[in-house]
Amino acid sequence: MNTDFVQSIQIISSIATPLIVLFLGLKINKTLDVYRSTLAKDKEWRTAWAERFYSTAIEFNSHIEDCIGCLYDLQEIDKQKLPGWEDRFNKKLNRIHDIVENIRRAEWSLKTTVEFAPQSKEIVLKESEQIISLMSNLLAKKQGDLEAIRNALFKFNQAAMMAHREIMG
């Protein structure tokens, strides 16, 4: 009778063990699928915000360069005073006002998107504010140090690159 009991236990365990392993394997696999899905969604979210930040940083740069180019054009139009120069001058001046609005929008968007890079946030904001300050001075005084603006743009771009990496994870 003892051997019958032992044999019964062996038969039950030989049937139950694979079923328990199968059940645990399915449970672990389901848990891993949930984690993979969560990670994929997180990666998608980070990628979207990183792309938005990257686009905004490029846009910010572009508007600063456009503004400096228009200021140079204004100076040349004023110097040459060719026929119709007043109209061209006023169009460029209006263009500068539009560019300044675009710079403000890009700066706001930078402030919003850089929040996802807490370690790089302060340096990005500091460098963008430095550029804004230099540009404000240039626009107000109609003169300024363009090399200082170029250097500030370079520092901003370095900080933006670090922030982009941080957002990407």
Q: What are residue 118's phi and psi, to 5 degrees?
A: -60, -30
User: In which domain, by residue range, is 100 found?
Assistant: 48-168
In a domain, 14, yes or no: no
Q: Which residues of the chain have pLDDT under 70?
A: 1, 38, 40
Number of domains forming the structure of the chain: 1
In a domain, 4, yes or no: no
Residue-level pLDDT at 150: 96
In a domain, 7, yes or no: no
In a domain, 80, yes or no: yes
Residue-level pLDDT at 44: 87
In a domain, 100, yes or no: yes
In a domain, 30, yes or no: no
Selection from 65, 89, 66 nearest residue 76 by Cα: 89
CATH number at residue 99: 1.20.120
In a domain, 40, yes or no: no
In a domain, 6, yes or no: no
CB-based contact 106:131 (threshold 8 Å)? no
Tokens 């263009």 belong to 95
Residue-level pLDDT at 1: 59
Residue-level pLDDT at 125: 97
Q: What are residue 82's phi and psi, to 5 degrees?
A: -75, 165
